[in-house]
Amino acid sequence: MWKARRNAVILAHNYELPEIQDIADVLGDSLALARAAARTNADVIVFCGVHFMAETASILNPEKTVLLPDLEAGCSLADSITAEQLKSWKRDHPEAIVVAYVNTTAEVKALSDYCCTSSNAVDVVQSIPEDKEILFLPDMFLGAYVKRMTGRNNIHIWMGECHVHAGIQPQQVDAVINQHPRAELLVHPECGCSTSSMHLLAEGQLPTNRTHILSTGGMLDFTTHSTATEFIIATETGILHQMEKANPQKRFVAANPNAVCPFMKKITLQKVLDALRNMQHVIQVQDELRARAKTPIDRMIAIG
């Protein structure tokens, strides 16, 4: 009732609580949700994710009302670099192109040339002339993945991390592989095990045909279309709900069952209802900042 009354759309990230995923009009990773926010005809966007995602939706839709049901839904990765730190880094590399993972504040985006998500980071970097120096921020694991996949040595990587993904360690993945030797291994490039997984792949110590480094959206597509029946999932555990729902005949095993983001679990059904009923909490970005932050976001949406 309240959603119809407000002409609202509910966007939810793949890591949200199962009951939030189930009521979403659009469910996806950061790139899919950014695209959905850019094209919606709704007057109100209820963003079930974390603060930087709602901020991105507001940047893309200044004429719409963007609601974040819980203001405490933050992001440790976005907090790992500030605008002042980026300004200092840019002064050290004045000719560099800045590629910012979408998990950043509007202030950081406004100082960047491109945004990207895990699903199009490689494509974004490959779109930049090879002779251009690149500052990639803030995730060091995704940065290492992009550097390896593009073969570019002129990429400088910020040493930030998502504390949840960083907690998925190589030894945990090895233990689960030993327990499920025939399972497909799906690794998110933000994970602490991603760099070692790439190295082990190159060294032939992981099964080449059964190890896949994918975005969350890529993981969902892969598990749905693969003929395999067992999968080891190395990312935040919230995504398992969708996988199991879409593929009840298949088995999904978390590489680390404790890889749970407390920020992504802040939003509840009651908070969504309260947001719609009371039109809270409105996320807005000032016009001057929004204009500067929108350019790298538009580039992200257009690539990949």
**Domains identified in the chain and CATH numbers:** 2-74+264-285 (3.40.50.10800), 78-161 (3.40.50.10800), 164-254 (3.40.50.10800)
For residue 132, give the 3-state DSSP assignment.
coil
Residue 195 pLDDT? 63
Contact between 134 and 121 under an 8 Å Cβ cutoff? The reply is: no
How many angstroms separate the CA atoms of 279 and 202, rounded? 51
Residue 244 pLDDT? 97
Mean pLDDT split into 10-residue runs, the chain, 304 residues: 93 95 91 82 94 91 93 92 98 97 94 90 94 95 89 95 80 87 88 64 67 88 95 93 96 93 95 96 94 93 80
Tokens of 260: 């749970």
Residue 24 pLDDT? 96
Contact between 83 and 111 under an 8 Å Cβ cutoff? The reply is: yes
Pairing of strands 65-67, 114-116: unpaired
Contact between 252 and 39 under an 8 Å Cβ cutoff? The reply is: no
Residue 205 pLDDT? 63
Q: Which residue has the tokens 């592989």?
A: 177
Residue 170 pLDDT? 78
Q: Which residue has the tokens 């016009």?
A: 287
Residue 16 pLDDT? 95
